[in-house]
Amino acid sequence: MSRWRSRFEVLSLFVVFVIIWEIVVRFLEVPSYIIPAPSLILSRLADLFQSGLIWPHLITTGLTILSGLALGIVAGLAFGALIGVVPPAERLIYPYLVAMQTVPKIAIAPLFVLWFGYGITSKIVISALISFFPVLVSVISGLRAAERDQMDMMRVFGASRWQSFLHLRLYAALPTIFAGIEIASILAVIGAIVGEFVGAQEGLGYLITTLNFNMDVAGVFATLIILSAIGLSVHALARYLGRRMVFWRRADEKSAVLSH
Amino acid sequence: MRSDALIQIRSMTKRYETRAKETVLALTDVNLDIGKTEFLTVVGPSGCGKTTLLRILSGLESHTEGTLLIDGTVPSGPRPDISMVFQQATLLPWRTVLQNVLLPRQLQKTMSPQVVERARALLDMAGLSEFENKYPSELSGGMQQRASICRALICDPKILLMDEPFGALDAMTRETMNLELMRIWSAQKKAVIFITHSIPEAVFLGDRVLVMTPRPGRISRIIDVNIPRPRDRSSFANPVFNRICDEIREIFDTQGSGATNQENSNVKMAVSF
* pLDDT tens column, B10-35: 999 999 888 888 888 889 999 999 99
Q: B-chain residues within 8 Å CB-CB of A154?
A: 107
Give CA–CA dist B19/B23, Å, rounded.
10
Q: Is residue A170 domain-resident?
A: yes
Q: What is the pLDDT of residues A57-89, one digit of tens each?
A: 999 999 999 999 999 999 999 999 988 888 788
Q: Is residue A188 domain-resident?
A: yes
Residue B128, CA distances (Å) to B95, B138, B143, B185 in order = 15, 12, 7, 17
A25: phi then psi, degrees, rounded to nearest 5: -60, -45
Q: Specify whether the CB–CB gap between B35 and B10 falls below 8 A.
A: no
Q: What is the pLDDT of residues A167-212, one digit of tens each?
A: 999 999 999 999 999 999 999 999 999 999 988 889 999 999 999 9
Q: Is residue A24 domain-resident?
A: no
Q: Is residue A28 domain-resident?
A: no
User: Between B1 and A214, whose confidence is greater?
Assistant: A214
Residue B195: CB partners within 8 Å, gap ≥ 6? Answer: B41, B42, B43, B50, B51, B54, B162, B163, B164
Q: Which CATH number does the domain housing residue A81 bear?
A: 1.10.3720.10
Q: Specify whether the CB–CB gap between A220 and A211 falls below 8 A.
A: yes
ipTM score assigned to the predicted complex: 0.86
Contact flag A157-B79 (C-beta cutoff 8 Å): no
Mind telling me how many Å the CA of B248 is from chain A's nearest CA? 30
A254 secondary structure, DSSP code: P
Contact B227/A at CB under 8 A: no
Contact B135/A at CB under 8 A: yes
Q: What is the pLDDT of residues B168-225, one digit of tens each?
A: 888 888 888 888 888 888 887 899 999 998 999 999 999 999 999 888 888 999 999 9
Closest-CA residue of B relative to A150 is: B90
Q: A-chain residues within 8 Å CB-CB of B93?
A: 248
Mind telling me how many Å the CA of B162 is from chain A's nearest CA? 12
Share of chain B above pLDDT 70, in %: 92
Give CA–CA dist A125/A120, Å, rounded.
9
* Mean of per-residue pLDDT scores for chain B: 87
Q: What is the pLDDT of residue B85?
A: 95
Give CA–CA dist B72/B4, Å, rounded.
11
User: Between B125 and A165, whose confidence is greater?
Assistant: A165
Q: Specify whether the CB–CB gap between B129 and B123 falls below 8 A.
A: yes
Mind telling me how many Å the CA of A210 is from chain B's nearest CA? 51
B70 secondary structure, DSSP code: E
Q: What is the pLDDT of residue B272?
A: 36
Residues of chain A in Cβ contact (below 8 Å) with chain B: 147, 149-150, 152-159, 163, 167-168, 171, 247-248
For A50, other C-beta atoms within 10 Å of its C-beta total 9
Q: What is the pLDDT of residue A250?
A: 64
Minimal Cβ distance to A156: which of B60, B87, B106: B60
Give CA–CA dist A196/A223, Å, rounded.
14
Minimal Cβ distance to A150: which of B83, B90, B137: B90
Q: Is residue A95 domain-resident?
A: yes
Mean pLDDT for the stretch of residues B68-93: 92
Q: Is residue A168 domain-resident?
A: yes
* pTM exceeds 0.90 for this model: no
The total number of structural domains that make up chain A: 1
* Mean of per-residue pLDDT scores for chain A: 90
Pick from B135, B73, B143: nearest CA to B99:
B135
Q: Is residue A8 domain-resident?
A: no
Domain that holds residue A109: 58-259
**Per-residue pLDDT for B106 more than 80?**
yes
Element housing B6 (H / E): strand B5-17
Measured in residues, chain A has a length of 260
Q: Is residue A183 domain-resident?
A: yes
